[in-house]
């Protein structure tokens, strides 16, 4: 048997994931993002173990991260027969991802403030 080293969340990483959830990311997406930010690459199984998520939850989170073009994947042949294993890594540094999230939230706030201004104009008209 081959020994594997699987990373698990520290308290600090749990806090970071919770901050991302509070910002507006889905919990599973936040956990996978934090996990990938702290490892050069990981298989789906590694992510499941390290984040304590089930396979479907990881798959859904990966779909969201792919849509944002924040992750890359490649396939590696499995040691035994069977399907190839997908290996994931961040496509852009976590700092750039945070910049993207910040910009998105700023636009959201600006849109909300514009709507408030429009509502005020209707009230005072």
For the stretch 70-95, pLDDT in tens is: 999 999 886 677 788 899 999 999 99
Task: Give the dihedral sign, CA 20/22/23/27.
Answer: positive
In this prediction, residue 7 carries a pLDDT of: 73
Cβ neighbours, 10 Å, residue 53: 19
Question: Could you tell me the CA-to-CA distances from 62 to 34, 68, 82, 108 in Å, in that order?
Answer: 13, 10, 22, 24
**C-beta separation of 16 from 51 below 8 A:** no
DSSP 89: E
**C-beta separation of 30 from 48 below 8 A:** no
- Sites in the chain below the pLDDT cut of 70: 1-6, 78-79
Domain 1-92, CATH number (from 3.20.20.410, 1.10.10.10, 3.30.70.340, 3.40.50.2300) = 1.10.10.10
């Amino acid at each position: 048997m081959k020994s594997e080293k699987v990373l698990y969340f520290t308290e600090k990483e749990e806090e970071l994931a919770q901050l991302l959830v509070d910002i507006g990311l889905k919990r599973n997406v936040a956990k996978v993002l934090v996990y990938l930010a702290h490892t050069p690459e990981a298989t789906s199984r590694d992510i499941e173990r390290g984040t304590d998520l089930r396979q479907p939850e990881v798959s859904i989170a990966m779909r969201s991260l792919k849509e944002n073009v924040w992750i890359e994947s490649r396939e590696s042949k499995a040691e035994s027969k069977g399907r190839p294993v997908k290996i994931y890594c961040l496509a852009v540094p976590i700092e750039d991802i945070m910049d993207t999230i910040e910009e998105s939230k700023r636009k959201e706030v600006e849109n909300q403030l514009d709507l408030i201004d429009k509502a005020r104009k209707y009230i005072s008209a």
